[in-house]
Chain A
């Protein structure tokens, strides 16, 4: 009983990680960069929803849509202004720029929204479900459903549609893709647009489940989701889902049964073990170097 309830809350936390990790892994897979600002785009998304719905009294669905539009535009702008000039540079240079963007977003939000934590009002209208004495909140149900839907949709998009195939081509070999007539810059922008739209959804759902919103709300989940994405095999869409959920479950079970003080250490220890056994993550592709 206790186990089940720990498990469910683990899955709920994990599905938030998964949702964020999907955006991470998407951008990594195509642009081959760790977008450290992803967590902060989530925070921006949540603030847009908060401003629209709580302050402006907008319908939650419209609020989330507005956030998606806002974050998409923001994501594309960030990509164009900060990352595109560095396309030819070493990947570490882009990583550092992403860190700069992350600081920028946090501090802009700090100036605009101030430092105090706001309580977020849930955008989810699903009623909690009680089965055999276990209550599962509407937010958890919504998060899990949305994560799965997004995962499936992304997988289909990448495998079946023309822009999706172009994305895969860019991910394999930018130069070759260019020669095949693919607009590489356009595809990368599209990737950022999708990643940022996902971030907006993740922001709304995360803050509905854990309703504390401040300019630093996105930072830690961002790092955790990055860990989750690597855990699952970075670049792999189902991997992000699996990695996120596993991370949440391991975290909660170690809090519940081993030590709540050391749960971070335990999560990271498990991560190390997994990577030592499978060096490219649970669902990652094996990298071979041609000699």
Chain B
């Protein structure tokens, strides 16, 4: 069974078909790219997959379970995590706390346990800290654990978002322009990290990216979106040579 199966997914905003007839099947462990010019509907696809928007047509399945129509929280619990194009960290909280909130549904104790500082509070908090530091060290952020998230430099913020998403123990990770604003060196490093987490945590990754070097560097297959519909699909190198795709990117 495929990990993710999207069938004819679409959404209409006031008459505008932002995404229409989107189909995609992802196998476990795949690293898949979603590209397209600005406004092509890439982020909208992410919003549909994470329940921010309700699709007006079509459906999608995670591990065979129908997901469309579910709320973001349920989708997160089912195993889809994401990052955001315009970084959305918990700015007034520390880096460590950001990741610990990611662990919200992984390690639990009740409000009363927390208020009364019952033994379970201390044991769970200790496990949370260990797990969070472990995740942070993957992204070399463990040294910044006590820094406020909003005080981190841009590149680290992007990494922290991925670390936070990883904390929810997802099956499918959606990365929205993870390399935006990074220099080539940083991008290269990020590529390594993405591969690393895919292998280490047994992940399936769907990513949106404008940086073609990153896309062609790590994605096995890609889909090109244009005006909300699929323009091309297939192995990365082939698709990028497609004249239609080039036209869409460069204009006439």
Classify A-B as touching or not with yes or no (CB < 8 A).
Answer: yes
B139 within 8 Å of A (CB atoms) = no
What sequence of 0s and 1s flags, for each residue 28-49 of chain B, a beta carbon within 8 Å of any chain A beta carbon?
A: 0000000000000001000100
B13 to chain A: closest residue by CB: A288
Chain A residues, Cβ within 8 Å of B52: 291
B47 to chain A: closest residue by CB: A291
Chain B residues at the A interface, C-beta cutoff of 8 Å: 43, 47, 52, 84
- Say how far B100's CB is from chain A's closest CB, in angstroms: 23
- Say how far B89's CB is from chain A's closest CB, in angstroms: 15
Chain A residues numbered 253-291 whose CB sits less than 8 Å from any CB in chain B: 291
List 4 tightest A-B contacts by C-beta distance, closest first: A291-B52, A291-B47, A291-B84, A291-B43
Interface size for A (C-beta < 8 A) is 1
Q: How many A-B residue contacts, CB cutoff 8 Å? A: 4
* Alpha-carbon distance between A89 and B84 when the two chains are bound, in angstroms: 27
A288 to chain B: closest residue by CB: B13
* Alpha-carbon distance between A291 and B49 when the two chains are bound, in angstroms: 13
A-B contact pairs, 4 of them (CB 8 A): A291-B43, A291-B47, A291-B52, A291-B84
- Say how far A88's CB is from chain B's closest CB, in angstroms: 16
* Alpha-carbon distance between A291 and B13 when the two chains are bound, in angstroms: 14
- Say how far A90's CB is from chain B's closest CB, in angstroms: 12
Chain B residues, Cβ within 8 Å of A291: 43, 47, 52, 84
B50 to chain A: closest residue by CB: A291
B44 to chain A: closest residue by CB: A291
* Alpha-carbon distance between A31 and B47 when the two chains are bound, in angstroms: 32
Chain A residues, Cβ within 8 Å of B47: 291
* Alpha-carbon distance between A291 and B87 when the two chains are bound, in angstroms: 10
- Say how far A57's CB is from chain B's closest CB, in angstroms: 60
- Say how far B88's CB is from chain A's closest CB, in angstroms: 8
- Say how far A92's CB is from chain B's closest CB, in angstroms: 15
- Say how far A73's CB is from chain B's closest CB, in angstroms: 40
Chain A residues, Cβ within 8 Å of B43: 291
* Alpha-carbon distance between A110 and B235 when the two chains are bound, in angstroms: 80
A289 to chain B: closest residue by CB: B52
* Alpha-carbon distance between A291 and B52 when the two chains are bound, in angstroms: 8
* Alpha-carbon distance between A291 and B174 when the two chains are bound, in angstroms: 14
* Alpha-carbon distance between A73 and B217 when the two chains are bound, in angstroms: 65
- Say how far B87's CB is from chain A's closest CB, in angstroms: 12
Chain A residues, Cβ within 8 Å of B84: 291
- Say how far A149's CB is from chain B's closest CB, in angstroms: 35
A290 to chain B: closest residue by CB: B86
* Alpha-carbon distance between A291 and B43 when the two chains are bound, in angstroms: 8
- Say how far B51's CB is from chain A's closest CB, in angstroms: 11
- Say how far B184's CB is from chain A's closest CB, in angstroms: 29
* Alpha-carbon distance between A130 and B84 when the two chains are bound, in angstroms: 66
* Alpha-carbon distance between A219 and B156 when the two chains are bound, in angstroms: 50
- Say how far A196's CB is from chain B's closest CB, in angstroms: 36
* Alpha-carbon distance between A291 and B45 when the two chains are bound, in angstroms: 12
- Say how far A79's CB is from chain B's closest CB, in angstroms: 30
* Alpha-carbon distance between A153 and B172 when the two chains are bound, in angstroms: 56
* Alpha-carbon distance between A142 and B106 when the two chains are bound, in angstroms: 66
* Alpha-carbon distance between A12 and B152 when the two chains are bound, in angstroms: 57
- Say how far A70's CB is from chain B's closest CB, in angstroms: 43
* Alpha-carbon distance between A169 and B47 when the two chains are bound, in angstroms: 30
- Say how far A186's CB is from chain B's closest CB, in angstroms: 31
- Say how far A285's CB is from chain B's closest CB, in angstroms: 14
Chain A residues numbered 62-117 whose CB sits less than 8 Å from any CB in chain B: none
- Say how far B97's CB is from chain A's closest CB, in angstroms: 21
* Alpha-carbon distance between A3 and B102 when the two chains are bound, in angstroms: 59
Chain A residues numbered 149-168 whose CB sits less than 8 Å from any CB in chain B: none
- Say how far A115's CB is from chain B's closest CB, in angstroms: 45
* Alpha-carbon distance between A280 and B176 when the two chains are bound, in angstroms: 31
* Alpha-carbon distance between A291 and B18 when the two chains are bound, in angstroms: 14
- Say how far B155's CB is from chain A's closest CB, in angstroms: 22
- Say how far B25's CB is from chain A's closest CB, in angstroms: 25
* Alpha-carbon distance between A291 and B176 when the two chains are bound, in angstroms: 11
* Alpha-carbon distance between A49 and B43 when the two chains are bound, in angstroms: 59
- Say how far A141's CB is from chain B's closest CB, in angstroms: 43
* Alpha-carbon distance between A291 and B208 when the two chains are bound, in angstroms: 14
What sequence of 0s and 1s flags, for each residue 35-66 of chain A, a beta carbon within 8 Å of any chain B beta carbon?
A: 00000000000000000000000000000000
- Say how far A33's CB is from chain B's closest CB, in angstroms: 22
* Alpha-carbon distance between A291 and B11 when the two chains are bound, in angstroms: 15
* Alpha-carbon distance between A291 and B47 when the two chains are bound, in angstroms: 8
* Alpha-carbon distance between A291 and B44 when the two chains are bound, in angstroms: 9
B43 to chain A: closest residue by CB: A291
